[in-house]
Amino acid sequence: MAVEVVYRSSRDPERLFMDKAEADRHDKMLELAELLSEVLQKAVPSLSDDQGEELGIYMARNREVFAKAFKNQPDALGELGSQPAAE
């Protein structure tokens, strides 16, 4: 019988990973998404919890693009239009 090592995300327990680094990246992305969601909901009180969560996850998944845009490269946001919607 073979033994297989899998890693479980601490923030998303139903999600399993074959690589610890990948699980850690996923947890960090979810942590960033949660913080972004909180900030967005404070900035826009009419934002629902679900909308805030979706926006936070979207921004966290695409943080490199947003980072470029915030560093005086607003054209980088054009990259987001060519990507499929979030899972």
Residue 63: what pLDDT? Answer: 94
Checking phi first, is residue 72 left (phi over 0); if not, alpha (psi -120 to 50) or beta? left
Class of domain 7-81: mainly alpha
pTM for this model (two decimals): 0.78
Residue-wise pLDDT for 5-49, tens only, equals 999 888 888 898 999 999 999 999 999 999 999 999 999 999 999
Of 69, 39, 65, which is closest to residue 53 (Cα–Cα)?
39
Residue 30: what pLDDT? Answer: 94
Residue 55: what pLDDT? Answer: 95
Residue 9: what pLDDT? Answer: 84
Residue 10: what pLDDT? Answer: 84
